[in-house]
């Protein structure tokens, strides 16, 4: 970024978990910010968030003007992005949206920089670039190098998703339930339909007519769009687990071409954004507790699926607030200013 001019940037949803992570990553990566404006709901307006040693006051989103802002990093609810992303683009701001609102719209690029960075050029159609779902992002970072080399026919994925994917209130609910259970006291389930402490809930987002959840179908549809290959068959089961940060995924892959574990390991070791941790004899494999606050997608437990001819199993873990959301958005913005703005 050296030598490049600064850009006028805003963060919408600045007081949420992802919004705060975006602000932190902008500072960590020395993103060329000329000015930073922060927007949130009326109840959060007036809060102060530190950026580069300066306290910035959060402004109310309602009635906000985006004139003069060049890049908008959005992470509010989908219904909020539906209203304010088009408003921002109409005033000259390029929006990188972290919600599900625009992901499957054909004229909006859905981008993971390690996988399909060329699609960023399509921002010119609507002025919007969509950030994929957190569970999809980490999966496709691991799938892409394998697909390029061996061509993937089918993916079966089971996810073990942390409560931070449902926001700060979900993290608070897990903490409260653990505390109440140890003190043998009652509690309410406000965020999740069932107790999350010491439990697993196979239910993320709403159920659809096909009996899959919306989260599961996001993984199916988004993977095909990002990989630019509708022939890849994907099926998913998404489970919420009592982990604060970090999504884990058990992924089974069938390829068209014969493949060995050693070949997959080598391909992944050379892939951008991937770190292989795969020494099970010494109990070394990715775990959420080790991947928190890390940028990479971690892959381990690479092994042959002995039930099919060209099958591989692997275990993939990433920090869902970073690579699964905030970091991916900032990486898109970095490529946007490097190549297009």
Count the neighbouring beta carbons within 10 Å of the beta carbon of residue 310: 18
Look-up: residue for tokens 């930073």?
A: 36
Active site positions, annotated: 134, 247
Going by C-alpha positions, the residue among 5, 65, 227, 42 that lies closest to residue 132 is 227
Tokens matching residue 125: 């159609």
First and final CA of the chain: distance in angstroms?
A: 13
Contact 241, 287 (CB under 8 A): no
**Which residues lie below 8 Å from residue 50, measured CB to CB, with a gap of 6+?**
56
> Order of strands across the sheet with 152-161?
233-240, 152-161, 247-255, 311-318, 297-304, 274-276
């Amino acid at each position: 970024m050296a030598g490049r001019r600064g850009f006028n940037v805003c963060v919408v949803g600045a007081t949420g978990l992802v919004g705060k992570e975006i602000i932190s990553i902008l500072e960590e990566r020395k993103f060329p910010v000329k000015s930073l404006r922060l927007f949130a709901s009326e109840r959060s307006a007036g809060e102060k968030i530190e950026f580069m040693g300066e306290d910035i006051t959060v402004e109310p989103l309602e009635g906000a003007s985006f004139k003069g802002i060049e890049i908008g990093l959005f992470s509010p609810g989908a219904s909020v992005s539906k209203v304010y992303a088009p408003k921002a683009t109409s005033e000259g701001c390029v929006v990188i949206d972290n919600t599900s609102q625009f992901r499957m719209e054909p004229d909006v690029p859905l981008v993971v920089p390690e996988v399909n960075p060329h699609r960023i050029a399509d921002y010119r159609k609507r002025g919007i670039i969509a950030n994929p779902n957190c569970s999809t992002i980490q999966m496709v970072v691991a799938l892409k190098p394998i697909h390029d080399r061996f061509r993937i026919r089918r993916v079966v994925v089971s996810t073990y998703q942390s409560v931070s994917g449902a926001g700060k209130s979900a993290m608070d609910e897990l903490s409260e339930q653990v505390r109440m259970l140890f003190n043998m006291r009652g509690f309410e389930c406000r965020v999740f339909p069932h107790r999350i402490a010491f439990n697993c809930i196979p239910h993320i987002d709403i159920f659809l007519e096909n009996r899959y959840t919306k989260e599961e179908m996001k993984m199916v549809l988004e993977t095909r769009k990002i990989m630019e290959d509708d022939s890849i068959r994907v099926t998913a089961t998404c489970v919420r687990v009592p982990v604060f940060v970090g999504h884990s995924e058990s992924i089974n892959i069938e390829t068209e071409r014969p493949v060995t574990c050693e070949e997959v390991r080598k391909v992944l070791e050379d892939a951008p954004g991937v770190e292989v941790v795969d020494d099970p004899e010494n109990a070394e494999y990715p775990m959420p507790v080790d991947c928190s606050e890390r940028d990479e997608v971690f892959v381990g437990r690479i092994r042959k699926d002995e039930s099919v001819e060209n099958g591989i199993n692997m275990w993939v873990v990433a920090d869902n607030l970073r690579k699964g959301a905030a970091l991916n958005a900032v990486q898109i913005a970095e490529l946007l200013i490097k190549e297009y703005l």
